[in-house]
Amino acid sequence: MYGSFDIILEEHPQIYSYTRTLGEEKLVVILNFSGEQPNFEMPEHVEFAAHELVISNYEVNAEEKIQAIELKPYEARVYRLLK
């Protein structure tokens, strides 16, 4: 409800993704709305030094790099992006 909301990957047919920023806190939400396994590529303009998994509906390796992810069917992830 508070902060800025910025859609990323606007044209992707399967993935809905956005950042939510309030003050110093920034989250990225990555949602696969298909039964397929699309590849998510973090846009270069989304800057961060580290990330922390907040929630996922599948088991995820916390050390996995998030610049490129093969998403599982109907997978949802939320990460806190750290400077």
Question: Which pLDDT does position 49 carry in this prediction?
Answer: 95
Domain total in the chain: 1
Question: Which pLDDT does position 15 carry in this prediction?
Answer: 98
- Domain range for 20 is 4-82
- Could you tell me the pTM of the whole model? 0.94
Q: Is 15 left (phi over 0), alpha (psi -120 to 50) or beta?
A: beta
CATH of the domain at 40: 2.60.40.1180
Burial of 9 (0-12, 13-18, 19+ CB in 10 A): middle
What averages of pLDDT result for each successive group of 10 residues across the chain (83 residues)?
92 97 96 98 95 96 92 98 94
Question: Which pLDDT does position 1 carry in this prediction?
Answer: 80
Question: Which pLDDT does position 59 carry in this prediction?
Answer: 96
- Collect all residues with Cβ–Cβ distance below 8 Å to 21 and sequence separation of at least 6: 3, 4, 6, 27
